């Protein structure tokens, strides 16, 4: 993806983790226009295998959290 627009700020790429079951996840790489981050992604690339927990933590279900608290 190349842009010749003078006000184009580039691209942002982020990994999206979507929980689909108790311990199942789908992963995608999203490409965003850096000058219009609130717009829909320019591209969404499915990642067909599981990824490790990301830098900002590992999320658990509400039931698991409540069980850990008791």
**Domain segments of the chain: what residues?**
11-69
Specify the pLDDT at position 19: 83
Laid out side by side, the sheet with 11-19 consists of 11-19, 25-33, 43-47
- The per-residue pLDDT for 5 is 65
Low-confidence ranges of the chain (pLDDT < 50): none
Question: Residue 58: what pLDDT?
Answer: 63
Q: How far apart are CA 18 and CA 24, in angstroms?
A: 9
The residue written with tokens 């842009």 in the block is: 3
DSSP state at residue 54: B
- pTM exceeds cut of 0.85: no
Q: Mean pLDDT in the chain?
A: 83
């Amino acid at each position: 993806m190349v842009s010749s627009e003078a006000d184009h700020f580039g691209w942002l790429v982020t990994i999206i983790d979507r929980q689909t079951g108790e311990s199942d996840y789908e992963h995608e790489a999203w490409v965003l226009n850096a000058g219009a981050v609130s717009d829909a992604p320019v591209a969404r690339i499915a990642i067909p295998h599981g990824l490790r927990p990301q830098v900002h933590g590992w999320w658990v279900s509400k039931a698991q959290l409540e069980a850990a608290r008791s």
